[in-house]
């Protein structure tokens, strides 16, 4: 397939269609609405299910229903809408049906704004709903990666009977760049044995997140945790840039990771031995890889478009072996490479006694506009 100029939201929608999504249910919310609109046009053309739900609450429960039938079902939303979906996500997790969710994050809290943000890392990675569970969370940084991870999301959802979330910020949802779409996958002919397809010639199937007896629920919880342990062993994915001889390591996901890459390249030109680790899976988190890197690294800089969320996981992974600093912008502000470069330089100077051999050009960002914290 040749490369085309594609908008992130639409590229994800088409990638989902090519991955064989049977049913899409959603509700309009900026900055993901193009995904819903694209599905509204394409799904009926293909004879697949599309419903614009009355709310995100209804949308996620429609997804739940379609997934119970063994069909590939998905929805998409943005931060406030995802908050409304959390109830349904928890039931889906408890029921172990495969579901794909696309969360195109915007600024918060509350109505916040419609500008790109990564403020919902905690929401999706740590607390996608009540009860002990975690979805698999994939964080693309380019339109191409969003396309590729959409296909992977359906595969992982079915393999582990779990929720897989594509977590991206509004920048990626809205931007256009050249990307290649995969070919159309064939739709599966048979539904899985657990699906609710009617008890014809077999015992009845029930799908529920409900276990009345404490011991039964604990056994179910243990099963879910064991599954997460397997996922942590098998499914960690990272994008690594110039890490081979890196003494300093920048960690950022999605757009923050992508901007950080530019800053790393610029820092290298100044002679700073820095590399980038961009987690592609936020859950499972690349904790072992970070711990390994911490054996050699002088320091870490975590860059996020939030007040510092993933930094907690980096700090846990590094385990005190090296200083972990943070640079973040909030409210829909995307950090610029020069801001990150300044933070890299400061980390470099803070972690070595040797005088710097380079000069930083451009202003250091004053604390009133951005903040840098060391915890």
Partner 1 sequence: MIANTVEVDPSDRVDPLDRTVEELVAQRPKTLSEIDTHYCPGCMHGVAHRLVAEVIDELNIRERTIGVAPVGCSVFAYNYFECDFAVAAHGRAPAMATGLKRVMPDKVIFTYQGDGDLASIGSAEILHAAARGENITVVFVNNAVYGMTGGQMAPTTLVGMKTTSSPYGRDLKMSGAPLKMSELIAQIDGVAFVSRRSLHSPAEIRKAKKAIRRAFEMQLNGQGFSMVELLSSCPTNWDMKPVEALRWIETRMVPVFPLGDFKNSVPKNSVRGV
Do the Cβ atoms of 138 and 165 come closer than 8 Å? yes
Burial (CB < 10 A; 0-12, 13-18, 19+), residue 78, is buried
Where in 66-95 is the site for partner 1 (CB under 8 A)?
66-69, 71, 73, 87-88, 91, 95
Residue 23 touches partner 1, criterion: CB under 8 A: yes
Shortest CB 217 distance to partner 1, Å: 14
Residue 316 touches partner 1, criterion: CB under 8 A: no
Please state the separation of Cα 298 from the chain's center in Å: 28
Interhelix angle 56-68/79-95, nearest 10 degrees = 30
Shortest CB 203 distance to partner 1, Å: 9
Shortest CB 53 distance to partner 1, Å: 7
Cα dihedral sign, 245-118-9-18? positive
Give the separation between CA 239 and CA 173, rounded to whole angstroms: 20
Closer to partner 1 by CB, 29 or 344: give it.
29
Residue of 22, 103, 145, 372 that binds partner 1 (CB under 8 A): 22
Shortest CB 335 distance to partner 1, Å: 39
Give the per-residue contact string, 211-240, with partner 1 (x = CB under 8 A; - = no).
------------------------------
Residue 17 touches partner 1, criterion: CB under 8 A: no
Q: Are strands 176-179 and 4-7 parallel, antiparallel or unpaired?
A: antiparallel
Shortest CB 26 distance to partner 1, Å: 12
Residue 294 touches partner 1, criterion: CB under 8 A: no
Give the per-residue contact string, 32-71, with partner 1 (x = CB under 8 A; - = no).
-----------------x-x-xxx-xxx-xxxxxxxxx-x
Residue of 197, 221, 321, 351 that binds partner 1 (CB under 8 A): 197
Shortest CB 192 distance to partner 1, Å: 13
Using CB under 8 A as the binding criterion, the count of chain residues that bind partner 1 stands at 39
Residue 164 touches partner 1, criterion: CB under 8 A: no
SS3 (DSSP) at 5:
strand
Closer to partner 1 by CB, 49 or 294: give it.
49
Alpha carbon dihedral 74, 75, 78, 82, in 10-degree steps, equals: -90
Shortest CB 54 distance to partner 1, Å: 4
Closer to partner 1 by CB, 66 or 172: give it.
66
State the DSSP string of 13-78.
HHHHHHTT--EEEE---TTTHHHHHHHHHHHHHTT-EEEE-SSHHHHHHHHHHHHHTT--EEEEE-
Q: Residue 172: which H helix or E strand, with range?
A: helix 170-174
Residue 119 touches partner 1, criterion: CB under 8 A: no
Do the Cβ atoms of 280 and 140 come closer than 8 Å? yes
Please state the separation of Cα 110 from the chain's center in Å: 21
Residue of 5, 187, 206, 230 that binds partner 1 (CB under 8 A): 206
Query: What single DSSP character describes residue 2?
Result: -
Residue of 208, 214, 354, 367 that binds partner 1 (CB under 8 A): 208
Residue of 178, 198, 319, 363 that binds partner 1 (CB under 8 A): 198
Closer to partner 1 by CB, 113 or 205: give it.
205
Residue of 2, 109, 201, 366 that binds partner 1 (CB under 8 A): 201
What 314-322 contacts at long range (C-beta under 8 Å, 24+ apart), as own/partner pairs, is 314/251, 314/290, 315/375, 316/287, 317/285, 317/286, 317/287, 317/288, 317/290, 317/291, 318/290, 318/291, 318/294, 319/291, 319/294, 321/291, 321/294, 321/295, 321/297, 322/294, 322/297, 322/298, 322/351
Shortest CB 207 distance to partner 1, Å: 5
Give me the residues that bind partner 1 (CB under 8 A), please: 22-23, 25, 49, 51, 53-55, 57-59, 61-69, 71, 73, 87-88, 91, 95, 196-201, 204-210
């Amino acid at each position: 397939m040749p490369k085309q100029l594609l908008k992130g939201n639409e590229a994800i929608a088409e990638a989902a269609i090519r991955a064989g999504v049977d049913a899409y249910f959603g509700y309009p919310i900026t900055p993901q609405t193009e995904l819903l609109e694209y599905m509204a046009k394409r799904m009926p053309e293909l004879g697949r299910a599309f419903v614009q739900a009355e709310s995100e609450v209804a949308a996620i429960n429609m997804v739940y229903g379609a997934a119970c039938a063994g069909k590939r079902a998905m929805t998409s939303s943005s931060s406030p809408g995802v908050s409304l979906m959390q109830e349904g996500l928890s039931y889906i997790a408890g029921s172990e049906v495969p579901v794909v969710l696309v969360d195109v994050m915007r600024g918060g809290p509350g109505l916040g704004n419609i500008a790109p943000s990564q403020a919902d890392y905690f929401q999706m990675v740590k607390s996608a709903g009540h009860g002990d569970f975690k979805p698999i969370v994939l964080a693309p940084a380019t339109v191409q990666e969003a396309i590729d991870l959409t296909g992977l999301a359906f595969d992982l959802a079915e393999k582990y009977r779990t929720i897989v979330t594509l977590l991206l910020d509004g920048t990626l949802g809205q931007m256009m760049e050249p990307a290649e779409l995969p070919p159309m996958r064939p739709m599966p002919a048979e539904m899985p044995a657990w699906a609710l397809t009617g008890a014809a010639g077999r015992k009845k199937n029930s799908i529920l997140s409900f276990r009345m007896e404490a011991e039964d629920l604990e056994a179910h919880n243990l099963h879910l945790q064991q599954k997460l342990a397997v996922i942590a062993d098998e499914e960690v994915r990272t994008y690594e840039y110039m890490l081979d001889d890196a003494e300093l390591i920048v960690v950022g996901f999605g757009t923050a990771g992508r901007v950080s890459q530019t800053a790393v390249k610029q820092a290298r030109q100044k002679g700073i031995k820095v590399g980038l680790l961009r987690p592609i899976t936020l859950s499972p988190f690349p904790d072992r890889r970070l711990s390994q890197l911490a054996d050699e690294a002088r320091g870490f800089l975590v860059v996020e478009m939030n007040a510092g969320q993933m930094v907690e996981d980096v700090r846990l992974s590094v385990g005190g072996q090296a200083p972990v600093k943070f640079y973040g912008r909030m409210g829909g502000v995307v950090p610029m490479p020069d801001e990150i470069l300044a933070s890299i330089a400061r980390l470099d100077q803070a972690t070595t006694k040797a005088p710097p051999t380079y000069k930083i050009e451009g202003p250091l960002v004053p604390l009133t506009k951005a903040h840098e914290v060391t915890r």
